[in-house]
Amino acid sequence: MPLDVLLPRPAPPPAAAAALATESRVPQSPVSPSCKPAPPLKLPPSPQLLTIPQFYFPQLGPQPEAQRAMEDRLMALLAAQPAGLAVEDLKRMLQQILSLPSSLAYPLFHKLATKGEERVAPATLLQWASAHNLCGVPEARRAFDILRQQHALHVAPEDLRPLLAGVLLSHPGLEFLQEAPEFQERYAETVIHRIFYHNNRLGDGRIAWREFRRGDILASLREVDEQEDINKVLRHFSYEHFYVIYCKFWDLDTDHDFRISRDDLLRYGNHSLTYRIVDRIFGQAGRPFHRTTTNGGPPAPGTGTAPPGASNNNGGGSMSYEDFVYFILSEEDKTTDASLDYWFRCCDLDSDGRLTPDELLYFYEEQLHRMECLSQESVSFDDIMAQMQDMINPSDPRFFTLHDLKRARALSGTLFNVLFNLSKFMAYETRDPFVSRQEREDGLTDWDRFARTEYLRLAMEEDADNDAASDGAWSRLDAL
């Protein structure tokens, strides 16, 4: 007999118990398809957003409609000038059609005109404009393409000479220089050095498109067009600024060989600089010296004669006129990026990008010694460090970085004056807070204020010399 017949069948479990057993054996997953999903949340409808087309294109040229209109006007101008465009025609084209300063007509004429011709052929201008998409690029790019050489990717100092020649020829504020060609050359050279000082941030003597676009060359050229008084164009072109720079150089260059030695530079500012910072300058820590100068010797201020020409070799231990322009701009305005870079490199003895207390003490020791020799009340180095820490607030209190100085550029110049310029250090210690506040509100830079003060002083000295010479001449006539 089968075994399953002899044994009784177990009774089925209750329904609830069976369900519990089933649940205990096979737990249901939260993501099991057998689970009924919760209904989704109902979000309120999003508001309808308005789509506004872009209307400002800072890095692009004119929009298609404006570009076509500009091209039509350019073609009409060329059709009306079949014999070619003179310089005055180019000026009108640049101002009225391309929205560029008129002074750019001179480098454009120099670039496109055939040698010996007084006009630019319309076909030549049209070919050049088409190759550079002149009507389809931003204004800064048009100016950059006009200034640079045909296949160059940068603007070199020589590229600015036709521009300066045109400014000297046409600007009413420079007419008095027509009878002094020597000073025309020095003025142009100074303006070019100032432009590269402020715009060539890499310091390689070439202004690339990135630097040109971020610089102030185009803005300063517009000011030259707008101002009849060239001295009101404080950026680069002021004749008074040039006169101050050149007279300072002439006074230091005692042998007038167009070179400045260490001993010459030590006399700058009534011997205000320390020996150690001058040694760093001539060690070319701040900037490598320029190895060549312009041909011929310099004319003396107030005269039309020039001393015998000097050799073009820098000599290794002397400062050229270009080097002096960079020095004086850095010394008299320590708030610009170029000046902070210059003096930071001079004071960074180990070139590690940090000004440590040991490096600062190296320069300040000589200041302490000079103050003691002059019977001035000296300030301890610890007090100086504490004051500089409070003023600049560096990211790391153990040292100063170039970023720290640029972040507090309005006060960073005081640090360098304390280290190596005794005259400015003492002036800072005895400053009038009301005068300091007025200077911050007058809108001028430190360089602008220095140049204005020095020009007035030089003009008064020249008037006094002329009066003395006139009195001497009348005395000799009376004696006769």
Could you read off the pLDDT of 185-199 as tens digits, one per residue? Answer: 999 999 999 999 999
**pLDDT at residue number 473:** 57
Give Cβ neighbours of residue 240 (< 8 Å, ≥ 6 apart).
231, 451, 452, 455
The mean pLDDT value for 412-420 works out to 95
Percent of the chain with pLDDT over 70: 79
208 membership: H or E segment, kind and range: strand 207-208
Give Cβ neighbours of residue 391 (< 8 Å, ≥ 6 apart).
408, 411, 414, 415
CA distances from 312 to 131, 158, 322, 345 (A): 39, 17, 13, 27
**pLDDT at residue number 436:** 72
**pLDDT at residue number 378:** 87
**pLDDT at residue number 299:** 53
Residue 177 and residue 168 in contact, taking contact as beta carbons nearer than 8 Å:
yes
User: 337-347 and 321-332 helices cross at what angle (nearest 10)?
Assistant: 100
Name the band, by pLDDT with cuts 50, 70 and 90, for residue 23: very low
Residue 422 and residue 399 in contact, taking contact as beta carbons nearer than 8 Å:
no
The mean pLDDT value for 146-171 works out to 96
List pLDDT tens digits, range 41-95: 565 665 666 677 665 555 555 678 888 999 999 999 999 999 999 999 999 999 9
Angle at 456 between CA 321 and CA 217, to 5 degrees: 50
DSSP string, 390-425: HHH--SSTT-B-HHHHHHTHHHHHHHHHHHHBHHHH
**pLDDT at residue number 41:** 58
The mean pLDDT value for 125-133 works out to 94
CA distances from 94 to 71, 90, 98, 106 (A): 13, 6, 5, 11
390/325 Cα distance (integer angstroms): 32
Name the band, by pLDDT with cuts 50, 70 and 90, for residue 163: very high
pLDDT for residue 33 is more than 50? no
Helix (H, G, I), strand (E, B) or coil at 147: helix
Average pLDDT for the chain: 84
Name the band, by pLDDT with cuts 50, 70 and 90, for residue 320: very high
Cα-Cα end-to-end distance for the chain: 172
Name the band, by pLDDT with cuts 50, 70 and 90, for residue 340: very high
**327 strand-pairing partners:** none
Give Cβ neighbours of residue 448 (< 8 Å, ≥ 6 apart).
234
List pLDDT tens digits, range 371-399: 999 888 888 999 999 999 999 999 999 99
- Nearest partner of 334 among 446, 447, 421, 413, judged by Cα: 413
295/363 Cα distance (integer angstroms): 37
**pLDDT at residue number 470:** 64
**pLDDT at residue number 443:** 81
Query: Worst-scoring range by mean pLDDT, 34-48, 347-361, 456-470?
Result: 34-48
Listed as own residue / partner, the contacts of 225-230 with beta carbons closer than 8 Å and 24 or more positions apart are 225/95, 225/101, 225/102, 225/103, 227/173, 228/172, 228/173, 229/173, 230/171, 230/173, 230/174
pLDDT for residue 262 is more than 90? yes
**pLDDT at residue number 181:** 87
25/28 Cα distance (integer angstroms): 10
Give Cβ neighbours of residue 442 (< 8 Å, ≥ 6 apart).
449
**pLDDT at residue number 309:** 34
Count of residues in the chain: 480
154 membership: H or E segment, kind and range: strand 154-155
For 207, which DSSP code?
E
**pLDDT at residue number 5:** 42
Say how far residue 172 (Cα) sits from the centre of its chain.
27
**pLDDT at residue number 311:** 35
171/332 Cα distance (integer angstroms): 28
pLDDT for residue 17 is more than 90? no
Phi/psi zone of residue 93: left (φ > 0), alpha (ψ -120 to 50 degrees), beta? alpha
pLDDT for residue 467 is more than 80? no
